[in-house]
């Protein structure tokens, strides 16, 4: 049975959610202490608007146009300092500019392997699974993951690549301090060299053409590592498990029990924490966004602040994952953070971790009362987004709304169904999006319905961090000529992920199951959505935070959106005359 809704049931009657992440796996949208990790939202100092028929160069704000050599030099610095999370983010940004560069791709995968083992060995649920799962259960977990990959993955699985990556993962893990400590290993240089040599000898003898070959190979490597190094076979097999899931593409990944629970919380739009979105930057944790009403907001933390110490430990001396892990904890507990704001002295704050509800809609208001232009920001597509926007629209309608601006900048995605429902709210007919996968059950055409449609003129704001479900909505509005798209080209993540719980250790897998296409058949992957009115960023304003109350005056992209909305209206609202 399959229900195409927020919740799907697979043939095994296992709940599976359709969502787009975040982030990815993208480390620049890092640290899921919140909903989806976000991107910095800052007002540029100047901009230039043109119609999309005229090519305009968008000046990137995440990574300047650098030569490959300078990019690699910076990456090697991060690698040398074992700042693998930041290295991963660095290489991901570089690959957007230098797509297909083999050297960058190799460094990216190395950083991804390092960060994976670092992250998992700071995850208590994963560490517990090493001691609770025996060898046979670990192999069964691997078999289930490979079976789901074979059945649901968007293309034919690259079996040999996954096997080779498994060997590389265990090779790398044998040099990781946390891996060695948790598994109580003390290897001499000669022991390590011998184990590595024999692993790759085994690899050279195998063809690895299917999942059965991978199962046999992982079992043999586990036996070898147990005999030569005294390593728990479960630990070895789990490296093969994670290497396979994370070696498929940038968005598929293994989910520990804690991460799977967090993912379900993301879908619901709630979690326990401080209520901030974070990004690793220069040895600190940059506050990308503070969730309204959160403990962090009440404590006075602002966007663009930097956390430089957690419970007295400098973030410069911790890995990013260690620092992030120290921020998490049980509801009601406290964490002490040292926060630095530009131009001010560092301040120490004791913040209580609480249950945080992430709003699916922010700042609905009338931004131009003369023309009746309304505005609302959608930070992510959650289960309640369509319902919350409907409520806001009626309120704005009562305030005199004649045109609407929806701000999807920095929106990394969310639920497929939420983006479809939102597009349907503004379209009377036509296609919204099509999904295509290797499995026929992934092929769907989502279409609009006539009833309940808002016909208000529409403007949609996007940028390079508008991804996935955001691109579904923007693409549907553009291809159906329903509104004006303003900003810069979107991220270009045109794939669908499914969440599949696994049968052991409470774990799961996020698996790419399909690619999606706009109503006119345009592939979103690597292309993104091109705006009608492109805003060229000329210079970035040196500000520490955005004041939403005065955003209409300082946000040039929003100003371009307001101008686009005005151009679609015949005249401003007539003001009642006063007789004196």
| Each residue's pLDDT tens digit, 388-421 | 999 999 999 999 999 999 999 989 999 999 999 9
Question: Which residues fall within 8 angstroms of residue 505, CB to CB, at 6 or more apart?
Answer: 125, 126, 128, 129, 132, 133, 141, 256, 257
3-state secondary structure 318-369: CCHHHHHHHHCCCCCCEEEEEEECCCCCCEEEEEECEEEECCCCEEEEEEEC
pTM: 0.79
Question: In the CATH scheme, what is the code of domain 362-567?
Answer: 3.90.226.10
Catalytic residue at 468? yes
DSSP 536: E
DSSP 75-108: HHHHHHTT-HHHHHHHHHHHHHHSTT-HHHHHHH
**Torsion angles phi and psi, residue 404, rounded to 5:** -135, 135
HSE-up of residue 22 (Cα within 13 Å, Cβ side)? 27
Q: Where do you find CATH 2.30.42.10 in the chain?
A: 270-357
Per-residue burial over 120-139, b = 16 or more CB atoms within 10 Å of its CB, e = otherwise: bbbbebbbebbeebebebbb
Alpha carbons 44 and 39: distance in angstroms, whole number: 15
* pLDDT computed for residue 282 by the predictor: 79
Determine which helix (DSSP H) or strand (DSSP E) holds 562, and give its type and residue range: helix 556-567
Separation of CA 229 from chain center: 37
DSSP string, 388-449: HHHHHHHHHHHTT--EEEEE-TT---BBHHHHHHHHHTT-SSSEEEEEE-SSGGG-EEEE--
Which token pair is 412?
A: 């990394």
Per-residue pLDDT tens digits for 143-199: 999 999 999 999 999 999 999 999 999 999 999 999 999 999 999 999 999 999 999
Describe the crossing of helices 233-246 and 102-120 by its angle, rounded to 10 degrees. 140
- How far apart are the C-alpha atoms of 141 and 241, rounded to whole Å? 8
DSSP 8-state class, residue 9: E
Report the SS3 class of residue 261. Answer: helix
- Which residues belong to CATH 3.90.226.10 in the chain? 362-567
Collapsing DSSP states into helix, strand and coil, what is residue 313?
Answer: strand
Asked if 274 and 31 touch (Cβ cutoff 8 Å), the reply is no
Let me know: does 432 contact 446? Beta carbons within 8 Å: yes
Catalytic residue among 21, 112, 383, 493: 493
Q: Is 528 left (phi over 0), alpha (psi -120 to 50) or beta?
A: left
- What angle separates helix 135-152 from helix 211-229, to the nearest 10 degrees? 150
Q: Has 479 been annotated as catalytic?
A: yes
CA–CA separation, 534 vs 54, rounded Å?
9
Query: In the chain, which stretches have pLDDT less than 50?
Result: 1-65, 539-548, 577-580
Query: What whole-number distance in Å separates Cα of residue 191 and Cα of residue 199?
Result: 12
The secondary structure of residue 300, as a DSSP letter, is T
What is the predicted pLDDT for the residue at 150?
96
265, 294, 468, 518: the catalytic one is 468
Q: What is the pLDDT of residue 537?
A: 59
Q: Left (φ > 0), alpha (ψ -120 to 50) or beta: where does 389 sit?
A: alpha
pLDDT score recorded for residue 85 = 85
Q: Nearest to residue 300, comparing CAs of 350, 343, 246, 250?
A: 350
Please identify which residue in the block is written with the tokens 């530009």.
342
Query: Which pLDDT value is given to residue 554?
Result: 79
| CATH topology assigned to domain 270-357 | Pdz3 Domain (2.30.42)
How would you label 69-84 residue by residue, b for 16+ Cβ within 10 Å and e otherwise? eebbebbeebbeeebb
Specify whether the CB–CB gap between 311 and 335 falls below 8 A.
Answer: yes
pLDDT score of 550: 54
Encode 141-151: b = buried (16+ Cβ within 10 Å), e = exposed. bbbbbbebbeb
- Annotated catalytic residue within 424, 465, 479, 555: 479
Report how far residue 497's alpha carbon sits from residue 253's, in angstroms, rounded to the nearest whole number.
Answer: 10
Terminal Cα distance for the chain, rounded: 72
Separation between Cα atoms, residue 378 and residue 384, nearest integer Å:
11
């Amino acid at each position: 049975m399959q229900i195409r809704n927020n919740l799907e049931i697979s043939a095994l009657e296992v709940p599976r959610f359709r969502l787009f992440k975040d982030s990815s796996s993208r480390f620049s949208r890092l640290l899921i202490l919140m909903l989806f990790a976000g991107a910095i939202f800052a007002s540029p100092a100047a901009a230039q608007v043109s119609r999309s028929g005229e090519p305009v160069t968008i000046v990137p704000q995440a990574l300047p146009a650098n030569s490959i050599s300078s990019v690699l030099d910076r990456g090697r610095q991060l690698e040398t300092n074992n700042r693998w999370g930041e290295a991963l983010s660095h290489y991901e940004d570089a690959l957007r500019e230098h797509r297909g560069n083999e050297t960058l791709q190799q460094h990216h995968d190395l950083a991804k392997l390092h960060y994976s083992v670092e992250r998992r060995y700071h995850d208590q649920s994963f560490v517990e699974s090493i001691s609770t799962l025996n060898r046979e259960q670990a192999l069964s977990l691997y078999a289930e993951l490979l079976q789901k990959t074979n059945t649901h993955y968007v293309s034919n699985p690259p079996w040999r690549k996954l096997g080779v990556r498994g060997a590389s993962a265990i090779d790398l893990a044998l040099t990781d301090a946390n891996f060695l400590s948790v598994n109580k290993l003390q290897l001499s240089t000669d022991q390590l060299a011998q184990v590595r040599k024999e692993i790759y000898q085994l690899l050279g003898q195998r063809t690895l053409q299917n999942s059965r070959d991978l199962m046999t190979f992982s079992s043999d490597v586990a036996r070898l590592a147990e005999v030569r190094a005294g390593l728990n076979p479960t630990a070895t097999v789990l490296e093969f498990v994670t290497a396979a899931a994370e070696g498929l593409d940038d968005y598929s990944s293994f989910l520990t029990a804690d991460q799977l629970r967090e993912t379900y919380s993301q879908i619901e739009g709630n979690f326990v924490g401080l209520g901030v979105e974070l990004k690793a930057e220069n040895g600190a944790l940059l506050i990308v966004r503070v969730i309204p009403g959160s403990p962090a907001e009440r404590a006075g933390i602002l966007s663009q602040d930097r956390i430089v110490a957690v419970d007295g430990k400098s973030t410069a001396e911790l890995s990013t994952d260690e620092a992030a892990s120290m921020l998490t904890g049980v509801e009601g507990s406290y964490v002490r953070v040292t926060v630095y704001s530009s131009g001010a002295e560092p301040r120490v704050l004791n913040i209580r971790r609480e249950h945080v509800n992430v709003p699916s809609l922010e700042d609905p208001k009338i931004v131009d009362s003369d023309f009746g232009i309304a505005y609302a920001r959608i930070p992510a597509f959650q289960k309640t987004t369509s319902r919350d926007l409907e409520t806001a629209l009626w309120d704005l309608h009562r305030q005199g709304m004649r045109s609407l601006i929806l701000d999807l900048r920095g929106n990394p995605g969310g639920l497929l169904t939420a983006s479809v429902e939102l597009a349907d709210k503004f379209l009377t007919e036509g296609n919204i999006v099509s999904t295509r996968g290797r499995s026929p059950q992934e092929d769907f055409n989502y279409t609009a319905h006539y009833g309940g449609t808002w016909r208000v003129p529409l403007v949609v704001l996007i940028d390079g961090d508008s991804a996935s479900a955001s691109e579904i909505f923007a693409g549907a509005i553009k291809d159906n000529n329903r509104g004006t798209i303003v900003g810069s080209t979107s991220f270009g993540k045109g794939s669908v992920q499914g969440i599949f719980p696994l049968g052991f250790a409470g774990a799961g897998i996020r698996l790419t199951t399909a690619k999606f296409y706009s109503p006119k058949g345009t592939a979103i992957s690597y292309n993104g959505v091109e705006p009608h009115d492109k805003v060229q960023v000329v210079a970035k304003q040196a500000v520490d935070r955005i004041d939403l109350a005065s955003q209409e005056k300082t946000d040039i992209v929003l100003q371009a959106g307001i101008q686009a909305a005005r151009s679609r209206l015949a005249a401003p609202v007539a003001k009642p005359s006063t007789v004196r």
